[in-house]
């Protein structure tokens, strides 16, 4: 009897027209590294007296269903745009073929939802999660390695089936970014001596639980958006230290670029740095890690944007 293995599993995704209702069109097949999105329904003890002999308990009962988890995906030229759409909403697209510029902006009033199917064809078993919204994103920058992003997801419901609901999946070409193609800028100028950085974004999504016969959540409502992170740099100058000491803001851009027409740039327009120590930990170089928090910038009209340049037309992420 075959057993499920990760190498044969697949992840399909498509936007929903109505929250919690899976679309009937062909889904997109998405590259991914790991995924633990799925339904959990815990058993609770029933401490009822007088239904058995002695101290033995009564039968437990099932509590509310929770459908959430994380997916780790490669940062690539086309598919990452679908995850950014889920996190930030549809972009504004400009440009002409073959160079289109898709600008995703933080703080959207309403967020879209997707249907995501996790397939285990060896069994076979297919877990269709509906009403999926993206709560968080975390992306790391370092000198080497593959570029990946982690998205935290919250769904309304989940249903298992022996057949796929994804139709004939559509697969986009795969062109990954890697960390060697990364760069970080401050105020429009390259920031030197950086050894690592992390950018985190949260929609502060709240699962709305109501009394329902199907035990699903009523919805997943976004709260205050937050962009935070940290920058680790060799202590070679006082640029970041002075910014933290004086509590002044600056714009930071975190980018991956293959060439001038293929890139991904996250920009936080008003970031404030926390004061950091410059510890001496031996004879090697001295590093300092500065945490940052971003705020709404009136000139930019937002807290953060993610700008994706590729060959895909506006309809790709509409």
How would DSSP label each residue in 217-241? -SEEE----EEEEEEEEESS-SHHH
Task: Over range 58-68, report the average pLDDT.
Answer: 91
Q: What's residue 30's pLDDT?
A: 98
pLDDT at 74 over 90: yes
Task: Over range 253-266, report the average pLDDT.
Answer: 97
The number of beta carbons lying within 10 Å of the beta carbon of residue 279 is 11
Task: Over range 3-24, report the average pLDDT.
Answer: 95
Give the C-alpha separation, 225 to 90, whole Å.
Answer: 16
Q: What is the mean pLDDT of the chain?
A: 95
Task: Over range 113-136, report the average pLDDT.
Answer: 97
Can you give the pTM of this predicted structure? 0.95
Task: Over range 259-271, report the average pLDDT.
Answer: 97
Lowest mean pLDDT among 30-34, 83-87, 175-179, 216-220: 216-220
Task: Over range 181-194, report the average pLDDT.
Answer: 96
pLDDT at 139 over 90: yes
Q: What's residue 50's pLDDT?
A: 81
3-class secondary-structure state, position 164: coil
Give the C-alpha separation, 17 to 130, whole Å.
Answer: 11
Task: Over range 305-311, report the average pLDDT.
Answer: 98
Q: Look at the chain and count its residues.
A: 318
pLDDT at 137 over 80: yes
pLDDT at 61 over 80: yes
User: Given pLDDT bands bounded at 50, 70 and 90, which one contains residue 16?
Assistant: very high
Q: What's residue 214's pLDDT?
A: 87
pLDDT at 159 over 80: yes
Give the C-alpha separation, 170 to 15, whole Å.
Answer: 14
Closest CA to 106 of 271, 244, 248: 271
Q: Give the percent of the chain with pLDDT over 70.
A: 100
pLDDT at 1 over 70: no
Task: Over range 160-188, report the average pLDDT.
Answer: 97
Residues 6+ apart with CB under 8 A from 315: none
Q: What's residue 51's pLDDT?
A: 81
H or E element: which one contains 85?
A: helix 80-88
pLDDT at 53 over 80: no
Task: Over range 31-37, report the average pLDDT.
Answer: 98
Domain map of the chain by residue range? 6-317
């Amino acid at each position: 009897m075959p057993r499920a293995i990760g190498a044969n599993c697949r992840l399909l995704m498509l936007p929903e027209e109505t929250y919690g209702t899976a679309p009937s069109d062909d889904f997109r097949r998405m590259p991914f590294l790991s995924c633990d999105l799925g339904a959990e329904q815990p058993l609770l003890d029933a401490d009822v007296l007088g239904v058995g002999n002695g101290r033995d308990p009564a039968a437990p009962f099932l509590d509310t269903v929770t459908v959430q988890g994380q997916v780790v995906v490669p940062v690539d030229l086309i598919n990452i745009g679908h995850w950014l759409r889920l996190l930030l909403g549809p972009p504004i697209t400009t440009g002409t073929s073959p160079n289109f510029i898709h600008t995703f902006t933080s703080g959207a009033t309403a967020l879209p939802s997707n249907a995501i199917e996790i397939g285990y064809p060896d069994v076979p078993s297919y877990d269709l999660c509906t009403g999926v919204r993206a709560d968080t994103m975390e992306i790391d920058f370092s000198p080497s390695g593959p570029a990946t992003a982690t998205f935290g997801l919250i769904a309304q419901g989940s249903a298992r089936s022996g057949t796929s609901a994804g139709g004939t999946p559509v697969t986009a070409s795969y062109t990954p970014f890697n960390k060697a193609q990364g760069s970080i800028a401050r105020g429009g100028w390259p920031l030197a001596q950086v050894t690592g950085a992390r950018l985190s974004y949260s929609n502060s999504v709240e699962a709305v639980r109501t009394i329902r016969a199907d035990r699903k959540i009523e919805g997943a409502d976004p709260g205050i958006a937050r962009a935070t992170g940290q920058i680790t740099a060799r202590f070679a100058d006082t640029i970041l230290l002075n910014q933290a000491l004086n509590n002044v803001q600056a714009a930071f851009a975190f980018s991956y670029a293959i060439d001038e027409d293929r890139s991904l740039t996250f920009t936080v327009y008003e970031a404030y740095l926390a004061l950091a120590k410059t510890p001496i930990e031996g004879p090697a170089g001295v590093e300092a890690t500065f945490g940052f928090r971003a705020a709404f910038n009136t000139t930019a009209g937002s807290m953060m944007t993610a700008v994706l340049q590729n060959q895909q037309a506006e309809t790709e992420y509409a």
